[in-house]
A and B are shown apart, each in its own frame.
Chain A
Amino acid sequence: MIVAENLVKKYKEFAAVDGVSFEVAAGESFGLLGPNGAGKSTTMRMVGAVSTRTAGTLSILGMDPDRRGPEIRSRLGVVPQADNLDTELRVRENLLVYGRYFGLPRAQVARRADELLEFAQLTEKAKSKVDALSGGMKRRLTIARALINDPSILLLDEPTTGVDPQARHILWDRLFRLKEQGTTLLLTTHYMDEAEQLCDRLVVVDKGVIMAEGAPAELIRRYSSREVLEVRFGSDLNAEVAGRIAGMGDRIEVLPDRILIYSENGESELVRIIDAGLRPITSLVRRSSLEDVFLRLTGRTLIE
């Protein structure tokens, strides 16, 4: 569905995307995980056929966006990072107007709009003003709008950023349903839990280049240990303690607010720490996540 090879986007001298290659198969859910400014949105815009690439090759549904922009866009659904719903129109009208941009007949758009309002759980809000919707509802409406043309590929740029936790779960549920129905998803996120929930496969992006590629579980296996022990000694003491526990676990990361000890067995590491006479203020043993993969690959946390 999507084939990108050595994709480059430069703004004057600055390369926002610097030689990115990936492929997305039909029905696959593919993620771009990385911090803000990694080049995820730029990549999305190039795939969305609204931003001309500087170099490399790109093929979407077998077409080159430089030549077939409108044709490609007719088969995409796009959920941009910032909602650009039309606040001068009502909820249902937003869907009606948008469907027309694809040249769809009015009757068909009207039917589809009602189905999508149902899907987005917004049927009761059909006549509301867009500004009266909550953040989560707006997001759902944007997703519904992106589906008006029954797209082959759905592009989601940070689908749940700025949405409260409860609304996030509703969104994930809706996206998961789409995935089950076989819609190809390409999404960017800087939330590791979102990537784990929704992506079959993902690339970790930082500073315009791909750091790693694979399924979430596979990446965790490859770049991290099974468990992580997080201990806090207080901001002043963390660095000092780090010296004393060096050598514990497979690897240690010292962050400003806590120390992470990577190990197959977090509990036994905690016992060793306490045996060494150290008393952490808090301790937590958890499974490794994509956050740890990112930290390992870049030396930085995803959300700083």
Chain B
Amino acid sequence: MSTLETAADDAIRATRRVRRWGSWYVAEHRFRVMRSYAQTVVVTAIGNPVIYLYAMGVGLATLVDANLGPDAVAGVSYLAFVAPALLASAAITVASEEFTYPIMLGFKWNPVFYGMNAAPIAPGQIINGIVISVTARMLVTCGIYYAFMLVFGAVPSPAGFLAVFAALLTGLGFGAVLMAYTATLTEDTGQLAMVMRFVILPMTLFSGTFFPLSVLPGWLQWIGWISPLWHGTQLSRVFTYGAEEPIWLSALHVLYLAALLGLGWTWARRVAAGRLNK
């Protein structure tokens, strides 16, 4: 065999591992970077549930329950009603951090994605690696949140822990689409701030988070139906206090969120491949 053939064979053998595990190497990079802001991650993961559950569960709930009774909203206490929604919102918050700026950074501000791609890592693996790392962070955040929900006595149902996965699916479904959109931005001229203000904030307010969607006038309820947060919140409520809804609707929540995840993920991989191959 010629030396070139040997070299090619060596390369093919050495690259098998990267073809299989490349996404995890990218995730490894993200974890290392997250370590540099680990304090923020931990403080928000613990601080958020404490503050929100206290404010809503002890503060606002006292007011609501005093006026409407202990089964104030949808047959449960206000705390039990609002807690699963806050859990899903926490996942959305992680998504809105981790699927936006790190993407802008990697393509533009500190173009590390090009460096990864100059090594054997494929564009799709970069996207996979980000999804893996965000899933890990989100799981930790939601797990901690759920633990505090238990402490506050906000989970009447024993199947409540499933709400953690409902929240995870919510964050990833919304986040994947957000990631793909961010990947298309060649310049941030305030688009991301607009998304925070005009997509994420209204979504939080009108997704049946603090009051049931049915309270809203009919012409506003569509916001809930397209909102991944509403689907995720409803699903979480089914798990934490057995909120009553037809089984097809619960299935629809899962399907809708999974579809968003699949769509966003595929789209992002495609955008990344296009941007890195110039």
Contact = CB atoms under 8 A, between A and B. Distances in A.
A122 B93 CA distance: 40
Nearest to B18: A103
A89 interface: yes
A132 B87 CA distance: 40
Interface in A68-125: 68-76, 78, 80, 82, 84-89, 93, 97-98, 100-103
* Residue of B7, B17, B105, B276 most packed against chain A (CB within 10 A): B7
Contacts, number: 113
A82 B253 CA distance: 46
Nearest to B2: A62
Contacts of B111: 82, 84
Contacts of B4: 1, 61-62
A84 B43 CA distance: 30
B14 A103 contact: yes
Contacts of B29: 86, 97, 100
B278 to A, nearest CB: 6
A129 B33 CA distance: 13
B12 A73 contact: no
Interface residues of B, number: 39
A45 B276 CA distance: 10
B20 to A, nearest CB: 9
B118 interface: yes
Interface of B: 2-5, 7-8, 10-12, 14-15, 17-19, 21-22, 25-26, 28-29, 32-33, 36, 105, 110-112, 114-122, 276-278
12 contacts: A26-B3, A61-B11, A62-B8, A74-B14, A74-B120, A80-B118, A86-B110, A89-B36, A101-B26, A101-B116, A101-B119, A103-B22
Interface of A: 1, 26, 45, 48, 50-52, 61-63, 68-76, 78, 80, 82, 84-89, 93, 97-98, 100-103, 145, 149, 152
